[in-house]
Amino acid sequence: MPADLLERRVRFGDTTYGPCLHYATVFDWVICAIEELGEKLDYTCDEIVSKGGIPYGPVDVTARMDRYPTYGDRVLITGVPVYVSDRSFQVEYELSRVTGDERFGRVRVVSVTLAPDGTPEPLPGHVKERLRALTDGLDRDDCLATVDDDPVTFAAGEETFAVRRTFRTPHIEAVDLGYFEDYARFVAAGLEKYLETTGTSLAGLCEATDWWPFQPREWHLTFNDMVRFEDEMTIRGSIESVDDTTLAVAFDGESDDDRRIEGRIAYGCCDDTGAFVPRPKAMTDALEPVR
């Protein structure tokens, strides 16, 4: 049975450009839900950090949003373990309206706790037992499908955009690692920069319509290595496909010639209610050269 972990109301500070919940806030809330799950497992973040470890680090994330909560909506986040191994576990988190009559989306996270030397820490026996007990009766056919993407590869000069970022204090969490929530922000910034090179004003498009661009509908992110304070990273992205509903982008992040992260994000457009709507023709036309 899914466990109720967190309830949030969408505040003004939680929104993105427009009335929708910021897509990075989806991940913020999931991180908070993971911490709440640790309390239920009697394996808390406080305990892990006090021993010099890094609690519940995400190494693989799959997400799908059916629609976005908007300003004032109350959101319940539940979680149910899907798989448990000796050193990691997968939990599917669901965001739904508190009244229970509508699902906003699901996020599946593979979490690993790291020892002070950076190696995966074995899960304590009582934690594995509790996680496995929570999987009893789970209908895995109703869970998000495991994603087996082709590797993200770029030949020199083939990327649609590249942005360089230094991970300074606003991008760093308490254990000196980069916030994984920020990668979708970096990729969206690269897309907007690319649109500028086509002579397209995103602000102008938005002012002329009642839609909000670059809202991720689906993600699959793989974290290959840690990003630490003051690391410099180049985020490169390539538009793989575009139509009236979805803009699919493959991206990676390299630092010191080491690929730290890779993945794919499918962006859509939302209206004022948070529902996905067809992309305006003007934007599709602006992106057409990279099809």
Domains: count for the chain: 2
Degrees to nearest 5, angle at CA 24 with 18 and 26? 95
> Are 32 and 138 members of one domain?
yes
Task: Give me 192's structure tokens.
Answer: 């907007």
> Are 111 and 207 members of one domain?
no
Residue with tokens 């709507």: 277
User: Please, which residues have CB within 8 angstroms of residue 173's CB and are 6 or more apart in sequence?
Assistant: 179
| The pLDDT value given to residue 160 | 83
Domain extent for 79: 1-146
> Are 121 and 189 members of one domain?
no
Rg for the chain (alpha carbons), in Å? 19
> Are 130 and 29 members of one domain?
yes
| The pLDDT value given to residue 29 | 93
| The pLDDT value given to residue 291 | 43
Q: Is the entire prediction scored with pTM above 0.85?
A: yes
> Are 135 and 18 members of one domain?
yes
> Is-contact 266 243, C-beta < 8 A?
no
Q: What DSSP string runs through 165-186?
A: EE--GGGB-TTSBB-TTHHHHH
> Are 140 and 10 members of one domain?
yes
> Are 255 and 286 members of one domain?
yes
> Are 250 and 199 members of one domain?
yes
Task: Give me 99's structure tokens.
Answer: 């009244």
| The pLDDT value given to residue 148 | 59
| The pLDDT value given to residue 108 | 93
Tens of pLDDT along the chain (291 residues)?
Answer: 678 999 999 999 999 888 999 988 998 899 999 999 999 999 999 999 898 888 898 889 999 999 999 999 999 999 999 989 999 999 999 999 998 779 999 999 999 998 888 789 999 999 999 888 887 766 666 677 666 566 677 666 678 888 888 888 777 777 677 776 777 788 888 888 888 888 877 787 777 677 888 889 998 988 888 888 888 988 888 888 888 888 888 888 888 888 888 889 998 999 999 999 998 777 777 776 454
φ, ψ dihedrals at 89, nearest 5° = -150, 155
| The pLDDT value given to residue 177 | 74
Q: Is 191 exposed, middle or buried (0-12, 13-18, 19+ CB in 10 A)?
A: buried
Residue 291, classed as helix, strand or coil, is coil
> Are 202 and 80 members of one domain?
no
> Is-contact 66 86, C-beta < 8 A?
no
What do you get for the CA distance between the two ends of the chain, in Å? Answer: 43
Among 146, 173, 190, residue at a domain's last position: 146
Among 118, 146, 174, residue at a domain's last position: 146
